[in-house]
């Protein structure tokens, strides 16, 4: 099993878009090691977020990596744009097509010098990424339906997180397991116990009132909970 290094990864969907640069500076000042940017096309999910020019501006004013989650129907069209914008990692969804298409996209992401990841929506089981794990630097287990921030955490995703972690330990021990959706201090520990090590946090970070304290409390809650909960396997 890989050494556990818990990463608090603030989701920019929850930041103050009217004062974006200020929010970015405050997030980086809170000591978080990376930031998470969701790109939505209004087709794959019923929402539209920001595009590549905004990502480029974000990357130009922060010194920490920017992790881009592509909630789009054709992410392969934009990989070079993402690289040029400064993205450090790109996540695409497992249900965009057959295994060969997804594998090809993951390989292309890596060939462009970025880290590659694949995401699982709640309706899709861990087995959907089993053959892709050797090609991934990370697997994202969605703990809400993708498309909107501020949703309630789906506790029944915990066994899926555990299944992905077990597969990674066998096939790609250095791979990270990311979770995204409704993560806060009350459930981050359960996700850590299940095997997650990269936690996308939106409302519980940017709306906390004290970003440094929020980041510290989230990480401490993850670290304190490891080994304290026993989970059943995913059906």
Beta strands in 11-73 (DSSP E): 35-40, 66-71
Catalytic one among 67, 137, 180, 197? 180
b/e sequence 122-131, b meaning 16+ C-beta within 10 Å: bebbbebbee
**CA–CA separation, 232 vs 213, rounded Å?**
32
Length of the chain: 235
Residue 17, both tokens: 């878009």
Return all residues near 134 (Cβ < 8 A) that are at least 6 apart: 171, 172
Q: Chain-centre distance of CA 198, in angstroms? A: 7
Is 108 among the residues known to form the active site? no
Return all residues near 156 (Cβ < 8 A) that are at least 6 apart: none
Catalytic one among 38, 67, 137, 197? 38
Is 180 among the residues known to form the active site? yes
**Residue 47 C-beta-side C-alpha neighbours within 13 Å:** 13
Residues annotated as catalytic (active site), given as ranges: 38, 180
């Amino acid at each position: 099993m890989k050494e556990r290094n818990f990463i608090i990864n603030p989701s920019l969907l929850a930041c103050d878009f009217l004062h974006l640069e200020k929010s970015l500076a405050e997030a980086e000042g809170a000591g978080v090691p990376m930031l998470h940017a969701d790109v939505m096309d209004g087709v794959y999910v019923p929402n539209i977020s920001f595009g590549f020019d905004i990502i480029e501006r974000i990357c130009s004013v922060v010194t920490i990596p920017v992790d881009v989650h592509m909630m789009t129907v054709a992410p392969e069209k934009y990989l070079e744009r993402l690289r040029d914008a400064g993205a450090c990692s790109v996540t695409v969804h497992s249900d965009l097509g057959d295994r060969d298409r997804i594998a090809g996209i993951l390989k292309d992401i890596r060939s462009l010098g970025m880290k590659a990841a694949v995401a699982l929506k709640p309706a899709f089981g861990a087995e959907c990424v089993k053959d892709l794990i050797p090609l991934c630097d990370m697997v994202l287990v969605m703990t809400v339906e993708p498309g909107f921030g501020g949703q309630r955490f789906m506790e029944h995703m915990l066994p899926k997180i555990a299944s992905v972690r077990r597969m990674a330990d066998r096939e790609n021990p250095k791979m990270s397991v990311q979770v995204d959706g409704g993560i806060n201090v009350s459930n981050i520990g359960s996700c850590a116990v299940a095997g997650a090590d990269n936690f996308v946090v939106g409302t519980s970070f940017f709306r906390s009132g004290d970003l440094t304290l929020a980041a510290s409390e989230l990480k401490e809650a993850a670290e304190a909970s490891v080994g304290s909960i026993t989970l059943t396997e995913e059906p």
